[in-house]
A and B are shown apart, each in its own frame.
Chain A
């Protein structure tokens, strides 16, 4: 990567709106809370705009959002770029026929599901979540889309936790985030 690009001026306004809550959901975890960003309409709009500006000319027809905070950022992006929105959900929430992808957590496993028929082969897809930590969830999301023949162009998150090396887990798929947090 070339030398430091100047940060978009809107990013600082977004950064200051993220609240860090210690020891949630369990001791030792510093939780990055985006709900305070949503309380500032201007900062929330700027965050969405930053994604929309990046993707609107990329011919993306699918925005897939990971339950539940991906449901907050994904739809406004989808609406602005004219793409469909596909929710990726925990088991048992989507009615009708689904495909499932299991993934590993720190302790145990979890599962992500997508509707059959929501995405066609060859579609260009964007995966959206509020935050990338270890990358496990985003990986599962990408696999679901690739299994039905879609092409995942990029994963997009508001926040990255670089120490957890989620970017590497994406196996070469590009990742775009607005800000990093330790």
Chain B
């Protein structure tokens, strides 16, 4: 069903009629506000931003799609509405994405008091047991990052190793593991970062990433943002540009997003 933004008053069957006819005439609609008292079809065409695909706005389009006896009523309805109108295809795509996100969220298991009392652990291993949910997770990231000139996906040990490589393979980027100390052989650079109690160290191979490369940093979850921050610093130290951090889950109460400063964060699921 074509969508109507808050404030729209078009009846569902009217929306469907418009969507069908637009499809038949190969017209896409992006309609923002219809002037409340439009008195001409031309006016309305402009307001509705009706476009024949690949052609500029043309007068008469609205007349074409409303050439039924009822069109007076239809015209009046649209005039008196302010709405954002998506074609059926666009709405279907949004519905599908929401469905995928809902499934993904439902497969994540919450384990209380792990690794210590008081912590509610978000367990993604149950997501991995559902092949469709796992594939949808990867697809949602790939749809966002494909074709964006990202040449490096950096994944944080160890659960970032599960999500990073499939994304890297799909977008044609290299995969760079960001590891705990003494796991990477050969020359590394190290970055210390703070934990709730104490410190930890993250390492990256020297020469894995070149200056100027565009990088996506992946982990399963962002909590305080400490690990992601350390990863960003390592990449920036070798002159790379971190375009975004991406996680399956965010714990917004821990304000990790703020800790990333100017680096954007994209997540699929928010967990309280």
Pairwise interchain contact A79-B138, C-beta atoms closer than 8 A: yes
Q: A24-B185, A35-B184, A95-B123 are in contact. Are A85 and B162 (CB under 8 A)?
A: yes
Pairwise interchain contact A78-B174, C-beta atoms closer than 8 A: no
Interface majority SS (helix, strand, loop, mixed), chain B: mixed
Closest to A73 in B: B165
Q: Which residues of the other chain, B, contact A25 by a CB distance below 8 angstroms?
A: 182, 185
Q: Which residues of the other chain, B, contact A72 by a CB distance below 8 angstroms?
A: 161, 165, 175, 177
Q: Which residues of the other chain, A, contact B135 by a CB distance below 8 angstroms?
A: 79
Judge if B109 is at the interface, Cβ distance under 8 Å: yes
Q: How far is the CB of A98 from chain B (nearest CB, A)?
A: 11
Pairwise interchain contact A39-B131, C-beta atoms closer than 8 A: no
Mask, B149-160, CB within 8 Å of A = 1, is: 000000001110
Mask, A65-89, CB within 8 Å of B = 1, is: 0011101110110110011111101
Partner of B174, one of A19, A41, A71: A41
Pairwise interchain contact B174-A87, C-beta atoms closer than 8 A: no
| Cα separation A19 to B174 with both chains bound (whole Å) | 16
Q: Which residues of the other chain, A, contact B168 by a CB distance below 8 angstroms?
A: 38, 41, 44
- Beyond known contacts A38-B175, A40-B174, A118-B125: 18 more, CB 8 A cutoff: A21-B185, A21-B186, A25-B182, A41-B169, A67-B158, A68-B177, A68-B179, A71-B159, A72-B165, A75-B134, A75-B165, A76-B165, A79-B134, A79-B135, A79-B166, A84-B131, A84-B134, A96-B111
Top 4 nearest A-B pairs by Cβ distance? Answer: A21-B185, A71-B161, A95-B111, A95-B114
